[in-house]
Chain A
Amino acid sequence: MTTGAASYGALLDAVRGVRWPARRRATGATIGAHRSRLRGSSSEFSEFRPYRQGDDPRRVDWRLLARSDRAYVRLTTDRATMRTEIILDASASMAFPPVTLERWQRAREVAIGLAAVAHAESDPVGLSIAAEAPVRIPPRARRSVIAEMIRAVETVTARGSSGLAPLLASSRAARVAVITDLLGDAEELLAASRLALAAGSEVVLLHLLTLEELDPPAEAQLAVDPEQPELRRSLDADGRRRYRAALDSWMERAQGDFRAAGVRYVRALASESAARIVRRVAADAPADE
């Protein structure tokens, strides 16, 4: 496994050009790539609307008034930036499978990829890592922020059982992407997501799974929860069958709960490439367009 900023070069190249449109109109004051809730003085004409009392007289189209003797206001479409924050789960369960740490590796790459996509659209982007020693890089738009994020994720080791909900609750970003396996504080995370959505934020949840979880290897006869070592269960044939049924049920329930709350739930396998996952997260069209 390569480390350092150089290892992310291929990923950054792969996601270049990927757009990550906001699902809601942006409320940022800075001109950006996302549709803004505001319509004002930009040069991108949208439509005419009859003048109403209180409209700014400077926006009246005087030429149309002269020709038709009716007062119309000239409307334009504004573009704005969107503060984006990536919240990365760094609990012990992310360090799986034990040897390759594929999920943790993929989660770090996807976090950097999403940040790069957002940053390419001039969005201020930040990173919060729910580790034993939490790391928080506030959303910034400067060019060095991606490199700063890469250094941050490379210094963190996935261990412990830190919660994601506090980080989401304290986030002031208009768009929050949470990368997690949902094996920690899922209930608290769902509650915090509802609050963030109510506050006007957009929440994206990337549920990262591994093939070893879906189909544990044959040598896994005694399963031990890395976050709760006292939880030891035997995986015999019947146990595997019941495990898969329980896991499927749990995944379906989690997906339903988060989607019902308005969270954009994306499930991905850690075996997929990071660029593909980034594209899947970013590809969906905005909901309210």
Chain B
Amino acid sequence: MTFLAPWALLAGVLAAAGVVALHLVARRRPASYPLPTARFVPDRRTLVSRASRRPRDLLLLLLRVLLILSAAAAFARPVLTPRRSAIARILLLDRSAAVANPAEATRRARELVSDGVPTRLIAFDSAVAVLGEELGVLDSLDRVPPTHGGRVASVSALMAAARRLGSEIGAGADSVELTLVSPLTDREVDAASDSIRALWPGRVRLVPIAATPATRAMPPLGRAVRAEDVLGPALGGRTVREDTHAVRLVRGEPSGADSALARSGGVVVRWDSIGTRTAVPLAVAMGDDVVVATLARTSRDSDGVVLARWADGSPAAIERPLGEGCLREVAIGVPVSGDLPLSPTFQRIVNGLTDACASVRVDAGMPLDSARRAAFIGPARAARGSALANSAERPTPITSWLLGVALACALLELLLRRSYGEPGAAEAA
């Protein structure tokens, strides 16, 4: 236990000593002496003080000293300081689709935690899960497949969670090591990552592991697109094979064969409004790509994963899982005239809408370059626990109890003093 305001305790001790000293000074009324000419004595106080070897009114003294010390101890703000260790560790284990081999990541994590340092585990993919210190958790992680459609993780959210956890465990350790087991790709780092990373006052130990390859071929289209189709320029270069089960672009209601394709793992893209002649200026966004053009807008059922949105936030393209594949509906009407299909941005949107299902699509990005990685790792020293902890002390109810004791002593002292009557009256008798 320690005191946040030790001067209050010191002041209380001094005050208690003063009370004891006052109790050693016996103020009593002297014995009366009948003097007929007392009227000529000037009217002054009738109490005299003298020093005593033993304090008087021991019970009153005890109550007063207890009152003062209790109040002083309460005002000194006692807190319980937890037992500290030299170092603690926060292990950040990447479980996102960016990790090429999750088993390898778990193995590396197990190697790290085998040194006996108290470790808190944060497993993250697109979500962040703070786990305990049990090493068995690592084994269970091996059996959990990556979630959320293979999306990569957000380092910003991860660092925020790590900072919160650091605030909790920082009070119990002199330093906190933050270890990140991740390929750390550029898709995992966003614009806010640097500022959030700066909130961690120390080094991030990076244990790199292999990332899922970021470059891959777009899945082949399974149906021919006529040369005059407005999407033709946008799909230029894509392989068209009639017998493929990858992606099928359809117009109108999908047929039974289309549904069978989707159930077997393919992608059926229903894109009706191709070649529309009634278009107005609209904006559509998909990921980081935004296109502002004369487009036609049709209504679609919004039940599904939104892939693209209109400027007002309403879905422009959705995807619904169907069997092992998915069915995708696009409500973006492309005008028959204009050079929109030639726009690189629009081509990226079209490729994205004709890409594989989101549940199996992986785009982990490229590993960070050395400069950004070094900046992310930061200084050579691990974060100090005191710098992380909001307060090194935990609040304790003892302050309330001390104040209660002081109040009780004050009441008892008042009652006792009243029972004694006027101070010194007993001695004057």
Assess whether B281 is interfacial by the CB under 8 Å rule. Answer: no
**B46 touching A213, Cβ below 8 Å:** no
> Taking CB as reference atom, which chain A residue is nearest B29?
A222
- Select one of B29, B38, B45, B48 contacting A223, CB under 8 A: B38
Assess whether B43 is interfacial by the CB under 8 Å rule. Answer: yes
In residues 119-134 of chain B, which contact A (Cβ within 8 Å)? none
**B39 touching A239, Cβ below 8 Å:** no
**B44 touching A247, Cβ below 8 Å:** no
Contacts of A228 in B (CB 8 A): 39
Contacts of B38 in A (CB 8 A): 223-225, 231-233
Assess whether A5 is interfacial by the CB under 8 Å rule. Answer: no
In residues 215-250 of chain A, which contact B (Cβ within 8 Å)? 216-217, 219-228, 231-236, 238-239, 242-243, 246-247, 250
**A224 touching B34, Cβ below 8 Å:** yes
Chain B interface, >50% SS class: loop
Q: Considering the chains assembled together, what is the distance between the CA atoms of A212 and B41 in angstroms?
A: 14
Q: Chain A's nearest CB lies how many Å from the CB of B23?
A: 22
Q: Considering the chains assembled together, what is the distance between the CA atoms of A267 and B54 in angstroms?
A: 50
Q: Considering the chains assembled together, what is the distance between the CA atoms of A266 and B193 in angstroms?
A: 113
In residues 4-57 of chain B, which contact A (Cβ within 8 Å)? 29-48
- For chain B, the count of residues having a C-beta within 8 Å of the partner chain is 20
Contacts of B47 in A (CB 8 A): 234
Q: Chain B's nearest CB lies how many Å from the CB of A93?
A: 3
**B39 touching A221, Cβ below 8 Å:** no
Assess whether A181 is interfacial by the CB under 8 Å rule. Answer: yes
Q: Considering the chains assembled together, what is the distance between the CA atoms of A233 and B381 in angstroms?
A: 79
Known: A221-B30, A222-B46. A246 touches B40 (CB 8 A): yes
Contacts of A236 in B (CB 8 A): 44, 48
Chain A interface, >50% SS class: mixed
Q: Considering the chains assembled together, what is the distance between the CA atoms of A223 and B44 in angstroms?
A: 11
- Select one of B31, B42, B48 contacting A233, CB under 8 A: B42
- Select one of B32, B37, B44, B45 contacting A213, CB under 8 A: B37
Known: A219-B31, A222-B29, A222-B30. A234 touches B36 (CB 8 A): no
Residue among A181, A224, A239 with max Cβ neighbours from chain B (10 Å): A224
Contacts of A96 in B (CB 8 A): 34-36
> Taking CB as reference atom, which chain B residue is nearest A210?
B36
> Taking CB as reference atom, which chain A residue is nearest B35?
A223
> Taking CB as reference atom, which chain A residue is nearest B45?
A234
Residue among A92, A212, A225, A238 with max Cβ neighbours from chain B (10 Å): A225
Q: Considering the chains assembled together, what is the distance between the CA atoms of A235 and B46 in angstroms?
A: 8
Assess whether A133 is interfacial by the CB under 8 Å rule. Answer: no
**A231 touching B39, Cβ below 8 Å:** yes
Known: A239-B41, A246-B40, A250-B40. A232 touches B33 (CB 8 A): no
Known: A183-B37, A221-B48. A232 touches B42 (CB 8 A): no
Q: Chain A's nearest CB lies how many Å from the CB of B49?
A: 11
- Select one of A183, A223, A231, A243 contacting B33, CB under 8 A: A223
Contacts of A9 in B (CB 8 A): none
Assess whether A98 is interfacial by the CB under 8 Å rule. Answer: yes
**B41 touching A243, Cβ below 8 Å:** yes
**A interface, CB within 8 angstroms of B:** 92-94, 96, 98, 181, 183, 212-213, 216-217, 219-228, 231-236, 238-239, 242-243, 246-247, 250
Instruction: List 25 interface pairs A-B (beta carbons < 8 Å), by A numbering.
Output: A93-B36, A96-B34, A96-B36, A183-B36, A183-B39, A212-B35, A213-B35, A217-B33, A222-B29, A222-B32, A223-B35, A224-B34, A224-B35, A226-B36, A228-B39, A232-B38, A232-B46, A233-B41, A233-B43, A234-B30, A234-B45, A235-B35, A236-B44, A246-B40, A250-B40
Q: A222-B29, A238-B42, A246-B42 are in contact. List 9 more A-B contacts (CB 8 A).
A: A98-B34, A219-B33, A225-B35, A225-B38, A226-B34, A232-B46, A234-B30, A234-B45, A250-B40
